[in-house]
Amino acid sequence: MLIKTRGIVFRQVKYGESSFVLDIFTEEQGLKSFMVHGVRKSKPSVAPALVQVMSLVEVVAYDKRTTTLAKVKEMKSAWPFRQLPFSVAKSAIGQFVLEVTRSALRESEAHQELFDFIFSALIHLDESDKGLALFPLIYLLELGRLIGFQIQPAPESGAWYFDLQEGIFLREAPYHRYYLEPELSATLDQVMQLNLESSHEIRIPKASRMELLEHLLLFYRLHLEQFGPIHSHHILSVILK
């Protein structure tokens, strides 16, 4: 069977002398593995840049039921990045986006809204000439909504505690240790009013951003059994001012 789909390269593994195995989150079939031959030959069958992690691609592949690997027939760019691969900050954010998304995925089935969100988020990251300091936080909040645990805003103004275990704002601290103090809860509520396109409109101190990022990753671990340790966010504390 021949499949044609847009996709986002999540992972690449070298195979043999000139081939790669790619994990691609596809529009049509969700997360899927592909074999690409001849990439490292003098006349490559597929441009080497296309197999790089974060590449947005259009794939034509042979998909056999007898194997889990689909064999790529053709691959071309669905969006040629102009800045992302060459910017240390944007590349670091992109790596974080893919690491948390890959860890959060519970199934390989197609998810159109999720695919569209990740695809457009990477394009926005590539194109944006505005501040990106809040991008990782907003991405985590929107990703959580799409995979099933959306946080509701605080009911009204005032001092609130955010319960990481229950995913709700409370007037009093819960009887466990997984919660945010009122100051950080207010920061969370403030960030929740934004989207990726408006992420530059407010400024939050770096220490508060990184503390909130750590707690949101804890929130993911509390709600997703398969969500493992994330490492790429550590570099964000160095890069994002």
CA-nearest of 67, 73, 82 to 32 is 67
The pLDDT of residue 156 is 83
The pLDDT of residue 157 is 81
Answer CATH for 2-79 from 3.30.300.30, 2.60.40.10, 2.40.50.140, 3.40.50.300? 2.40.50.140
Each domain of the chain, given as residue ranges in start order, spans 2-79, 84-239
> What architecture (CATH level 2) is domain 84-239?
Up-down Bundle (1.20)
What is the full per-residue pLDDT of the chain (241 aa) written as tens digits?
899 999 999 999 999 888 999 999 999 999 999 999 888 887 788 889 999 999 999 999 998 766 778 999 999 999 999 999 999 999 999 999 999 999 998 777 889 999 999 999 999 999 998 889 999 999 999 999 999 888 888 888 889 999 999 999 999 999 999 999 999 999 999 999 999 999 888 999 999 999 999 999 999 999 998 898 888 888 888 888 7
The pLDDT of residue 66 is 62
* pTM recorded for the entire structure: 0.93
The pLDDT of residue 40 is 80
Token readout for 151 is 């946080």
Token readout for 1 is 């069977």
Residue 191, helix vs strand vs coil: helix
Q: How far apart are CA 184 and CA 198, in angstroms?
A: 20
Q: How far apart are CA 93 and CA 99, in angstroms?
A: 10
The pLDDT of residue 78 is 96
- 169 with 161: CB under 8 angstroms? yes
The pLDDT of residue 158 is 83
